[in-house]
Amino acid sequence: MAQTIRRKQTGVRRQARAQGTRTKVRKARAQTGSLVGALLRVLPFTEEQLHKFFLIVILAVAATAAWFIASLAGLTLLLNQQVAGVASRAGFEVRKVDVQGVDRLNQLKVYNIVLGREGRAMTEIDLEEIRGEILTLNWVQDARVSRQLPDTIVIDIVERTPHAVLRRPDRLVLVDAGGHELEPISQANARGMLQISGPGAQAQVGALGQLLDAAPALRPQVASAEWIGNRRWNLTFKSGQALALPMGEEEAAGALINFARLDGVHRLIGGKVVAFDMRSPERIYMRCPECKAGETPAIGGTT
C-alpha cells in the first residue's frame, strides 16, 4: 500500500516570530532615519557643513595624539640626559681606552675614533657605532667593543694577516689572503714575499692560495704569480724559472701537481731550463737556451 510522506513544515509560531523580528528591524531603521533627518532639520547646519566639522574634529584628535607622542619622546630624551648626568657625576664617564690585539695596526687610529667621546657618560656610549667605525680600518678584520666600569672602553681587535704583495703600476700594496688591501709597502720590505701581478689579480688571490695548496712542496719555491688574460696563471720560482699553467682551476691544479712530481724525479727547479709550458694537457714544453743537443731532459717533448 502506498504511503505519502509529507515534508516537515515550519510551525506557525516560528513563522510569526520571524515576521515580527523583520517588522521590528524595519521600524527601527525608519525611526533612526527619521530622528537623523529631524535632527538635521533642527540644527542650523547643512549636511556639508557637518561633514567639514567632523573632519576638523578628526584632524584635531590626530594632532593631539601626535603632540602626545612627541611629548613622550621628549620626556624619554630628558630622562636619558638626567641618567647620563647622574652617571657622569658618579664617575661613570669615558676617561680611558684599552686597545688589545694590535700588532701592525697604528693604535692612534683607534684612539682617534674613541677620543671624540672622551668625557661622555658611559650610558651615552654607542658601542656598535664605535665598532662600525673601527671595522673601516684596513688592518681590522673584526672587533669587539665593551665597557669596563667605571671609566674604560675596551677594544679587542682581530687583525688581518699579511699574505702577499700586490704589484700595481705605481706601487706595491700588502694584501691578506682574500686580496683585501692593508697598506703600501716598500720594495725592500716586500723582499721574500709572494708577489702577485696582472689585471684582475687582486680578486684571484684566494684562488691562487688554493692552487698553491695543491702542491705544498712547491709553494715555498714560488716567488711571484702573474694573472694572464684574466684566465690563467704564470708562476715564477725563486730560481727565476717560469711555469705557464693551463686555464681552469682543476686543470691548473693538476698541472702543478704533475710538475711537482716531475721536479721530484728530474730536479727541474734550479736546472738550465728557463721556462716550462704546461698549457698542453699531454706534454710539457721546455725552453733551454744554454742546453746543447741532447742535454734537455726528455719529458714528453721540448721547444
Q: What is the band of 233 on the pLDDT scale with cuts at 50, 70, 90?
A: very high
What confidence tier does 83 reach under pLDDT thresholds 50, 70, 90? Answer: very low
User: Among residues 135, 134, 140, which one has the least CA distance to residue 104?
Assistant: 140
Lookup result for grid cell 535632527 = 39
Whole-structure pTM over 0.75, yes or no?
no
- Residue 89: which pLDDT band, with cuts at 50, 70 and 90? very low
Whether the pLDDT of residue 279 is over 90: the answer is yes
- Per-residue pLDDT at 30 exceeds 80: no
What pLDDT was estimated at residue 124? Answer: 77
pLDDT of residue 15: 62
User: By C-alpha distance, which of 255, 259, 257, 261 is closest to 232?
Assistant: 255
For domain 164-287, give the CATH superfamily: Cell division protein FtsQ/DivIB (3.40.50.11690)
User: Is pLDDT at 142 greater than 80 in this prediction?
Assistant: yes
- Residue 87 has a pLDDT of 43
**Domain spans of the chain, in order of start:** 47-90, 96-159, 164-287
- Rounded to whole angstroms, the Cα distance separating 239 from 48 reads 97
pLDDT computed for residue 91 by the predictor? 46
More confident residue, 137 or 291: 137
Give the pLDDT confidence score for residue 301 in this predicted structure. 44
pLDDT digits over 191-225, tens only? 999 999 999 999 999 999 999 999 999 999 999 99
Residue written as cell 530622528?
35
Do the beta carbons of residue 123 and residue 92 sit within 8 Å?
yes
Q: What is the CATH number of domain 96-159?
A: 3.10.20.310
